[in-house]
Structure 1
Amino acid sequence: MSVSPSLLPLSAIVTRLRGVGCVFAEDEAHLLVTTARTPDELAAMVDRRVAGLPLEHVLGWAEFHGLRIAVDHGVFVPRRRTEFLVDQAVGLARPGAVVVDLCCGSGAVGAALIAALGPVSPVELGPVPPVELYAADIEPAAVRCARRNIPADMGRVYEGDLYEPLPAALRGRVDVLVANAPYVPTDAIRLLPPEARDHEPRVALDGGADGLDVQRRVLAGAAQWLAPDGHLLIETSEGQAPRTAETFARHGLIPRIAGCEELGATVVIGTRPATV
């Protein structure tokens, strides 16, 4: 049953959210109240959240790496742990680097990289060009969302499977290739929280029997697209990272594993050796 707009004090919203198991009910209630433009909209948003929709889908945005990322219904919600992937990429990219974001989803990683690597003009260096960003995803809804988060004058977003939609001219020129490819093993999908299991596209979650199927496909093509000394960064789990790193090595990349205990994040980074 919907809540009447006249019966929506903050305490009532908190009580409803707690009643369905929202751990951070006070924080969620504050976000709903400050995002809703009218009492009727607030009532509808509370109803959707109580019905189990992810908070980010209800709000229409997710906070990620200091940005508000538009997230439409049915689009994968960017996780806070993926901020570590962004930080690792920022540490490897020079100003003006050619960057590709595969499995880009809402475009959160690309948008964060643009914000971190975009134009600056220190007096002592003169103008620094922005990052040259290309992003791709197979999900049409995700691509539409990414094009809202990544302005056309700052990057290009393509619809298609991994490398397939990218301009051929990028082969051998990519300085930093990031991929937050799905890495949940198929049998573990049922163990995910309902917000993910029931409301995010399976293609954004399911990594095959061992969770590494899409990663292997990314790695199979990486060397053709990376520039000499270019880097590939793939988010994965701590338990999967050693096998991911072995696959990096089999495809000619020099791997290392980076982790962040605070965020519960693991990234495998591989470098294409410079041509001798």
Structure 2
Amino acid sequence: MTAPSLVARLRAAGCVFAEEEAALLEEAAASPAHLEELVARRVAGEPLEYVVGWVAFDGGRVAVEPGVFVPRQRTAYLVELAAPLLTAGDTVLDLCCGTGALGLALARRVPGLTVHAADLDPVAVACAARNLASVGGTAVVGDLADPLPPELRGTVAVLAANVPYVPSDAVALMPPESRDHEPRGTVDGGADGLDVLRRVAALAPAWLRPGGTVLSEVSVDQAPTAVELFAAAGLAAAVHHDEEREATIVSGRRTLRPTSSTTV
């Protein structure tokens, strides 16, 4: 298969960045036969990240397995907000961890962190454990913080939770690559998209150290309600928005002072 014909096949299948994808597929292929297999999977609509086995995220590669939520590029904004809050020796929790991309990216930015990750899906946890091994992190199967060591309560500097936040009725409107290949539970956040975030807001104060911060991605329309959830939990809440990436993050800091909310 020549490069031009490969690009043409990908373009005909609707791949907008056909040239870039062709180069990645050729890099991932061990032989011409393997390349044909990879191309056939991509042309059939399988996400490129599943086909090549990794995703570029926050300046590094993160391994991705089929059936595990693929980290979105906009979510790197959460990493950018969280990293300045950390120093070597701090503890990070990555809940609803998927691939473990958030914990991994933070550990790459701030060496010396202790990273714990958790997810309901054993396939995702296995993927996260593989990614986090390089930074000494761990991943466990369980519902939010339930499987984590109780001695971590009150010690966490950053709790990163990339929770599902798409309203149930909107899941059918998502791009086919996500709708048809990622588990529904990784995107469906209930009627208003905030079911899981409500639970994270409720548990966060018990796990954060004084001054510790929980951060989660939401839609811009959900941000006011998300702030209310964090404030109701006794956290100093703020909204952060990046126009270029269309990324919105809500944060909540544990403090003994009266709570407040701001928009950045």
- Aligned match for 1:167, one of 138, 141, 149: 149
Aligned residue type for 1:132: T
Matched position secondary structure for 2:180:
helix
How far did 1:152 drift?
Answer: 7.0
For structure 1, the 5+ residue unaligned runs are 1-7, 119-129
Q: What does 1:253-268 align with in structure 2 at a 5 Å threshold?
A: 253-268=235-250
Q: For structure 2, which runs of at least 5 residues remain unmatched after alignment?
A: 259-264
User: What residue is the counterpart of 2:21 in the other structure?
Assistant: 28
- Residue identity opposite 2:2 in structure 1: P
TM-score normalised according to structure 1 size: 0.91
Amino acid at match of 1:181: V
1:94, distance to aligned residue in structure 2 (A): 2.2
- 1:242-271 Cα offsets, whole Å, 9 max, x none, are 110011111100111111112111111111
Deviations 1:125-161 (A, max 9, x none): xxxxx11111111111100100110017611111101
Give the residue type in structure 2 aligned to 1:151: A
Q: Which residue of 1 aligns with 2:69?
A: 76
Equivalent residue number for residue 168 of structure 2: 186
Where in structure 2 are the equivalents of 1:1-276 lying within 5 Å? 8-118=1-111, 130-151=112-133, 154-274=136-256
Whether the 8 Å CA contact 1:107–1:149 is kept in 2: the answer is yes
What do the CA deviations read for 1:146-196 (whole angstroms, capped 9, x no partner)?
011001761111110101001000111111111000000001110011110
User: Alignment identity in percent?
Assistant: 52
CA RMSD of aligned residues (A): 1.3
Q: CA deviation at 1:275?
A: 7.5
Code of the aligned partner of 1:229: G
Secondary structure of the residue aligned to 1:151 is helix
1:68 and 1:25 map into 2 onto residues whose CA distance is 20
**TM-score, normalization: structure 2?**
0.95
- Are 2:107 and 2:135, in contact at CA under 8 Å, matched by a contact in 1? no
SS in 2 for 1:258: strand
Structure 1: which 4+ aligned runs deviate by more than 4 Å?
A: none
How far apart, in 2, do the equivalents of 1:195 and 1:152 lie? 29
Number of the residue aligned with 2:261: none
